[in-house]
Chain A
Amino acid sequence: MHVDLLGAVLRDPLGMTGSALLGLVTVMAILAPALSGYPPDLYTGQILSPPSAWHPLGTDSVGQDIWSRLLWGARTSLLVGAAVALISTSISVIIGTTTAIFGGLYERFWMRAVDAMLAIPPIIVMILVAAYLRPNLLVLILLLSALSWPGGARICRAQTLSLLERTHLSAAATFGAGWRHIIRRHILPDLTPIMLALTVGAARRAIFMEAGLSFLGVSDPTMVSWGKIMQQALQFTYLDVWRWWLVPTGLALSLTLVSLSLLGFALEGAMDPRLDGGQRHGDTRSSHA
């Protein structure tokens, strides 16, 4: 049962595709200043110009280079995705494991809170809150995190409850180990696959939500975001500009979301050996021998 998760994901064609796409977007985001000649907010002097040698995707209605806005938009999306994924997964793991271990009133409080939060669609809450706060990047990340942990917490709790029944935890307790040791050495390692899956899922949802909120125009207007680019482009669909303005942005967003979906799918397959006919089990054996 010792599964080499990363290897398994990379061997899966879907996982491979997902990783490659995500890698591509990441490289674009990191190298944004080098790949584009202009800062994203710079007025180039040309308005709605078609693609040219200086402007690979032309310029938009306020004279900004679309290609550079696209690259900087990837930065926002990935940053929001990564940060929300980390924060919300951490909250999920902390709430999930502690409620499972300590139980009692503490557990009941948090689990009812989770039920309540899962019952309300987060997008609606998000729109309402964002409309009042006009959140900047940091607030947006915190808001998204605060709304996306409950599902993961419930999964972590269930998994921890089943882990608590394992004999190796009892064994550790009979060496005199306290909860800190047991969580660190026995529970967290067994939660890793679930944590990975939660991270990927949370990142995907966060990127989607950020784009959506920007599209609706309820986030900080100074933020460069794919959602906002698409919203601006939609106002000029009667011109030809949508071909190099709307389509590449939409494609970038879709590909990022698809890459994360593929990764999540591959992870799920790797974590549950029953999904692939036991062939992977042999693989992992040899990979450790």
Chain B
Amino acid sequence: MLEIRDLVVSYHGSRVLSDVNLRLEYGDSMAIIGESGAGKTTLGLAIMGFSEGTTSGQICWQGRDLLRLPEEDMRSLRGKVVAMVFQNVEDALNPVLNIHDQVKEAMTVHRNGPGHAASARAFGLLEAVGLDHERAKSFPHQLSGGERQRALIAMALANDPDILILDEPTASLDSVTKGDVIEILRAAASDKISLVITHDISTAASLSKKMAVLYAGTIVEMGRTEDLLKNPRHPYTRGLIRSYPNMTTTKDLQGIPGRMDREADGCPFHRRCTQRTDICSRLPPSMQETNGRLIACHRGGIVPLLKLRGITKSFGQREVLSNVSLTVLEGETLAVVGESGCGKTTLARITIGLCDPDRGDVLFEDETLRVRGLEFYRKVQMIYQNPAESLSHRMSVLDLVREPLDVQRLGGRQEREASVRKALDDVELPSDDRFLARYPHQLSGGEAQRVAIARAMVLQPKLLIADEPTSALDASIQAKILRLLQNLQEKRGLSMLFITHDLALARKVSDRIAVLHRGMLVEEGPASQVVSSPAHPYTRCLLEQAARLDATIGSPGVESSAGRGAAAQDRDRWIGAAAVNR
């Protein structure tokens, strides 16, 4: 069993790792992910006893503290008990020895057994990683990057170590080679303790059962790999996953604002965090466990910003919403999808307070809303479907964007005008005097909607309710506006309740999708899951109707006739029923 307790590593007085605690048993595979510079490699080197900085804490292996072990003893463990596959493929191999001899050397250093046995085992190991006899006799410069990586793996496995540390094992490999290497590593690591250090989340996911997220030398979140990737709870983890190109999530890539700052007081992530409060800059958070997940965050991970509980609303005899419950987390987009008349807009209006529910509660920042005051509207804003209607035609751009500030009585005249110009800059509109004096009828549809967005954003809200914000615009302008909203989300951690009828659109802009059908919530989940494996037949219908560019889909040849019939029946049942209802 390998146990790391309160490990601190610092170089020249600056901490590279602080208070790292890990416990790994045989068969455990742990991935350490994080941006470059997070201290991942330092952790691997510390376990190998290669750390050059000053260290404190303990790395315990079978009752011995590896950090305090004399170099002589450590050397006998290296390779034999702890082996590492290094990151830098070019320099890790000796250029004047062929790779077979290098693998054999790794063994003969530790075992004084017969040379020919070691030689045979070296060939066997190289064979196992996919390098045949002829390749095994090659020199490093004669091999491709992938082959050199395989040779390094064979070397690390030479003495059948107990602990295998893989530092970026698949960096700079093409995806096919990467797949092979991952297979080899998976087979090799199954009976060992393995630690995968990587910024490549997909490699980490396929090589580990547990995952730890390292940020500026601190572990910020740790848990089972599958849970952690599906439902990240720390804002940094979510940021990492959002910025990683993959085939699972459907939302557009988003970055994390700011740079990593090791010297920050309090929570290392607080300067880049969009949900920080006072305490975050003062005290480093401690690790808390909830449901098998460890999170170091003062706010207990990503906070739920808006909660709708059991919202029910009828207009006359017709029930428009029945028992709808939803949660919007800080900095995420929840898309509410459904055909027109399904109650989407009513849901938005109830949330913002333009209409009262018959039953149910709206909670904002964990407080039930009864009366919505100025304070609430400073944090929650809405953009409407049609800018021509939501902007008064009697007001100039300046008056329009300034109106929320006037209502809220924020700042003086000059400050308000400065805020207006900044808000216009943020939505990529001109902010000169000529544009400020324009009236809505002198703006194009896209410009008018941007003015409406600038007006909503001028108060810097935390939650933006967007009711079909782009349905009145053509596709290219729609794309720009959605990009803009996502940038605002990235920059400010804006949460969005995105109301749309368009599933194809929802999957690109939202983290989660909720499907509403005749006032009932029929499905809710991560956008990728709702789109790839819809659970409810109505969702399948919406998917079938969603926009596609390939002409063959939907023609009878593609599906079996039985499947086609079932799908058609489904569609009739769900779409047709809705039509009759209307």
Interface residues of A (CB under 8 A from B): 1-2, 166-168, 170-177, 181, 185-186, 189-190, 285, 288-289
Q: Are B394 and A176 in contact (CB under 8 A)?
A: no
When the two chains form their complex, are residues B441 and A174 in contact, meaning their CB atoms are under 8 A apart?
no
| Cross-chain contact of A166 among B374, B389, B403, B442 (Cβ < 8 A) | B389
B314 within 8 A of A: no
Chain A positions within 8 Å of B403 at CB level = 172, 175, 177, 185
A288 to B377, CA, bound (A): 33
Chain B residue at smallest Cβ distance from A169: B392
Q: Least Cβ distance of A237 to chain B in Å?
A: 54
Neighbour of B407 across the interface among A2, A167, A172, CB < 8 A: A172
Nearest first, the 4 closest Cβ-Cβ pairs linking A and B are A176-B377, A175-B404, A167-B389, A176-B374
Chain A: which residue is nearest B353 at the CB level?
A174
Q: What CA separation (Å) do A181 and B409 show in the bound complex?
A: 12
Chain A residues with Cβ under 8 A from B390's Cβ? 167-168, 170-171
- Contact yes or no, B407 A175, CB < 8 A: yes
In the bound complex, residues from chain B placing their C-beta under 8 Å from that of A2 are 393-394, 439, 441
Judging by beta carbons under 8 Å apart, are B382 and A186 in contact?
no
A174 with B354, Cβ < 8 A, contacts A1-B441, A167-B389 known: yes
* Residue of chain B at shortest CB distance from A171: B390
- Convert B327-360 into 0s and 1s, putting 1 for each residue whose CB lies closer than 8 angstroms to a CB of A: 0000000000000000000000100111000000
* Set of chain B residues within 8 Å of A177, measured between Cβ atoms: 403, 407
Q: How far, in Å, is B26 (CB) from chain A's closest CB?
A: 59
Alpha-carbon gap, A211 to B273, bound state (A) = 77
A-B contact count (CB 8 A): 67
Which of B354, B407, B439 sits near A176, CB closer than 8 Å?
B407
What are 18 residue pairs bridging A and B, where the CB atoms are less than 8 Å apart in the complex? Answer: A2-B441, A167-B386, A167-B389, A168-B391, A170-B384, A172-B403, A174-B352, A174-B353, A174-B381, A175-B403, A175-B404, A175-B407, A176-B377, A176-B378, A181-B406, A181-B407, A285-B442, A289-B442
Q: What's the nearest-Cβ distance from chain A to residue B305, in Å?
A: 17
A171 and B382 in contact (CB under 8 A), knowing A2-B393, A176-B373? Answer: yes
B376 close to chain A: CB less than 8 A: yes
* Chain B hits for A186, CB < 8 A: 392
B393 / chain A contacts, CB cutoff of 8 Å:
1-2
Query: Which of A166, A172, A174, A186 counts the most chain B CB atoms within 10 A?
Result: A174
State whether the Cβ of B459 lies closer than 8 Å to any Cβ in chain A: yes
Q: Which residues on B sit within 8 Å (CB–CB) of A190?
A: 394
B536-555 toward A: CB 8 Å interface, digit per residue (1/0)? 00000000000000000000
> Which A residues lie within 8 Å of B353 (CB)?
174
Question: Shortest Cβ distance from A156 into chain B, in angstroms?
Answer: 17
Chain B, 358-389, CB within 8 A of any chain A CB: 372-374, 376-378, 380-382, 384, 386, 389
B569 within 8 A of A: no
**Is B408 in the interface zone, CB < 8 Å from A?**
yes
Whole-angstrom CA separation of A166 from B459 in the bound complex:
22
Residues of A within 8 A of B381 (CB): 174-175
A174 and B467 alpha carbons, distance in the complex (Å): 14
Q: How far is the CB of A46 from chain B (nearest CB, A)?
A: 59
B439 near A175 with CB under 8 A, answer no
* Identity of the chain B residue whose Cβ is nearest the Cβ of A190 in the assembled complex: B394
> A167 with B384: in contact, given A189-B394, A289-B442 (CB under 8 Å)?
yes
Q: Least Cβ distance of B438 to chain A in Å?
A: 8
User: CB-nearest residue of chain B relative to A166?
Assistant: B389
Q: Smallest CB-CB separation from A288: which chain B residue?
A: B439
Q: How far is the CB of B561 from chain A (nearest CB, A)?
A: 48
User: Do B354 and A175 touch across chains, with their CB atoms under 8 A apart?
Assistant: no
**Which residues of A are found within 8 Å of B376, using beta-carbon distances?**
176
Residue from A168, A173, A285, A288 in contact with B389 in the complex, judged by beta carbons closer than 8 Å? A168
Write the nearest CB–CB distance from A281 to chain B, whole angstroms.
9
- A2-B394, A289-B442 known; 20 new pairs, CB 8 Å cut-off, are A1-B441, A167-B390, A168-B392, A170-B349, A171-B390, A171-B391, A172-B403, A173-B354, A174-B380, A174-B381, A175-B381, A176-B373, A176-B374, A176-B377, A176-B378, A176-B404, A176-B408, A181-B406, A285-B441, A288-B439
Kindly provide the distance from the CB of B460 to the nearest chain A CB, expressed in whole angstroms.
13
Bound CA span A44–B391, Å? 65
Q: Tell me which of A167, A172, A288 contacts B442 (CB under 8 A).
A: A288
- Cα distance A171–B455 when bound, in Å? 10
* B382 partner residues in chain A, CB cutoff 8 A: 171, 174
Query: In the assembly, what is the distance between CA of A176 and CA of B372, in Å?
Result: 8
* CB-contact partner of B408 in A166, A168, A173, A175, under 8 A: A175
> A1-B441, A181-B407, A289-B442 known; A175 and B392 CB under 8 Å?
no
Residues of A within 8 A of B352 (CB): 174
Closest Cβ of chain B to A164, distance in Å, is 12
Are A175 and B377 in contact (CB-based, < 8 A)? yes
Residues of A within 8 A of B389 (CB): 166-168
- Chain A residues in 8 Å Cβ range of B395: 185
* Contact residues, B402-430 vs A (CB, 8 A): 403-404, 406-408
CB nearest neighbor in A for B394: A189
Distance A172 CA – B384 CA, assembled complex (angstroms): 12
From A178, which residue of chain B is reached at the shortest CB distance?
B407
Docked CA distance A1–B395 (Å):
12
| Assembly CA distance A288 to B389 (angstroms) | 20
